[in-house]
Chains A and B, each alone.
Chain A
Amino acid sequence: MNTCQRIDSLVSAFLEHEASPAEIRFVESHLPTCSRCRAQLHDVSLAMEAVAHLPRIEARAEFTDEVLARTRGLKPATWDIREPWILTAPRMFTARRVLSWGVPLAAAAALVMALVTLQVTHRSSAPQTASQITPTQTQPLPKVNTALPGSSATQNSANATPPEVMHLGKGEGQSLGMARDSYAVGTQLELRTPREGGTPILTPVASRPDAPVVVTF
C-alpha cells in the first residue's frame, strides 16, 4: 500500500476526528506535498456534507393508525423473529444454494431408493433366479478380500437360499452398499452386518458357493 492509498483508508477516520495521533501526524505530514490527497479529503468532506443535508422522509399522518389497524387482533408469534431463516428464507432457494444442498439430497435419496429396490428384488425373486446362476458359478472365483470376516451371516450358510444373479453396470456397486465397486464375473456376495452394528453391506465371500448373491458386471 503506497502513501496515497493509506491516506484513502484514513479519510473517514481523519474527517470524523477518530484517527489516532500517529495517523493524524501521518496525514498532516503528507497533505502539504500531495495535491491529489488534499483534493480527495476535500471532495469526500463535501460528499458527506451533501448526504447529511438530504431531506428527511416524513411518514404520512395516517401511518400510525394504519399500523394499529394492522396489528389489532394479532396474537404474539411463537417463533423468534431474530432467527435468520425466517427473514432470509427466500435466500435458501437461490440457484446456487439449491445446488449446494439439493444435489447431495438427491444423491442420498437415490441411494436409499436403490437399497430399498435391491432388498425388495432380493426377497421377491430369489427362488426364480436360482436357475440363472449356473454359468457364472462354474467359473473360478476370484481372490478377494473379505472386508468383514466372522459376521453373523456366515454362520447360517447351511440353510441359505440359492444365490440370485445381479447384473450391474460399472460404478453401481458402491451405490448398492458393496464393500468394493469392481469384482470379477461370478463374485459371490453376502449381505453382512458389521460387528459394531450399522447398515449391512454386500461383502464378497470367496469360498461360499451358496452365497445368496452372485454379481455379474
Chain B
Amino acid sequence: MDHVVAGSEAAFATLVDRYKNRLQNIVYRYIRDFQRSEDLAQEAFVRVYLHRERYRKTGKFSTWIFTIAVNLAKNEIRRKVRLRDVMSLDHIAEMLGGSDPGIKDESQPAADRQAEQNQSSEVVADAIAKLPVVYREALVLRDIEGLAYEEIAEILGIPGGTVRSRINRARIMLKDKLKGFAKTEL
C-alpha cells in the first residue's frame, strides 16, 4: 500500500488483482447483478486510488476497501428502491430484469446465470438475496467471505454482539427459506 500511496501503478495493479474477486463477490451477493457488481467493485478501487493518501496504516487494508464496497452496494440497493418507488413495475422489470431490488429472476443475463453453476446454488443465492439487507450483509461477510466477527463489526459500524445476533438470525431465516428445498437437494 505504501507504493500505491507513492503513486506506483504497478503496485496498484497488484492490489487490484489481489482483491478484485473478493470485492466483486461481496457486491454481487448484495445486489445479484453481475454487471453492476463489476461496475461497483471497479468504483471501489477507483475510490481507494483517489483517497490513497488517507489510508490509515493502523487499520487493515481489507477492512477499508470492504467498507467502501459495502457502502457502494448499499447505495445501489437504495437507488433501486427509489427507482421502484417512482417508476412502474414494468419499467423496473425492464431496467433491472427483476421485480425486487437486488434480486434477479429467470430473466437475468447469461453472465448472472453462469455465476450460479447449478440449481441448488441458484436456490441458495435467491434465498440469501431475499433476506433483509441487515441480515444479508452480515451473512455474506461471515459465511461467504469468512471474515472475523470483529472485522465485520468494523465494516458495518455496529457492535460485535449485534453482528453475532444478526448472523445467527440470518442463518435461521435462511434455513426457513431453504426448508422445502433442503429436504430433497441439500
Interface residues of A (CB under 8 A from B): 8-9, 11-13, 40, 43-44, 46-60, 63-64, 66-68, 70-72, 74, 76-77, 80-82, 87-88, 90-91
Interface size on B, residues (CB 8 A): 54
A118 to chain B, nearest CB (A): 42
A66 to chain B, nearest CB (A): 6
Between A8, A11, A46, A54, the greatest number of chain B beta carbons within 10 A of the residue's beta carbon is seen for A54
Q: Which of B39-56 contact A (CB under 8 A)?
A: 41-42, 45-47, 49-54
B8 to chain A, nearest CB (A): 12
Please tell me if the beta carbons of A81 and B50 are within 8 angstroms of each other in the complex. yes
Please tell me if the beta carbons of A60 and B75 are within 8 angstroms of each other in the complex. no
Report chain A residues within 8 Å CB of B9.
Answer: 68, 72
Decide yes or no whether B91 CB sits under 8 A from chain A. Answer: no
Give which listed residue, A44, A52, A67, contacts B45 with CB less than 8 A: A67
Between A12, A53, A80, the greatest number of chain B beta carbons within 10 A of the residue's beta carbon is seen for A12
Please tell me if the beta carbons of A77 and B50 are within 8 angstroms of each other in the complex. yes
Please tell me if the beta carbons of B75 and A54 are within 8 angstroms of each other in the complex. no
Report chain B residues within 8 Å CB of A76.
Answer: 50-53
**A67–B20 alpha-carbon span in the complex (Å):** 10
**Which residue of chain B has the shortest Cβ distance to A80 in the bound complex?**
B54
Q: Is the interface of B mostly helix, strand, loop or mixed?
A: helix
Report chain B residues within 8 Å CB of A58.
Answer: 21
Interface residues of B (CB under 8 A from A): 9, 12-13, 16-17, 20-21, 24-25, 28, 34, 37-38, 41-42, 45-47, 49-54, 67-68, 71-72, 75, 78-79, 115-117, 120-121, 124-125, 128, 139, 143-144, 164-165, 167-168, 171-172, 174-175, 178-179, 182, 186
Known: A56-B21, A90-B75. A51 touches B47 (CB 8 A): no
Please tell me if the beta carbons of A51 and B124 are within 8 angstroms of each other in the complex. yes
**Which residue of chain A has the shortest Cβ distance to B56 in the bound complex?**
A82
Known: A43-B182, A44-B175. A88 touches B71 (CB 8 A): yes
Report chain A residues within 8 Å CB of B128.
Answer: 51
14 A-B interface contacts by CB (under 8 A): A47-B186, A50-B182, A50-B186, A51-B139, A54-B124, A55-B121, A59-B24, A60-B38, A67-B42, A68-B12, A68-B13, A71-B46, A71-B50, A90-B75
**A21–B54 alpha-carbon span in the complex (Å):** 43
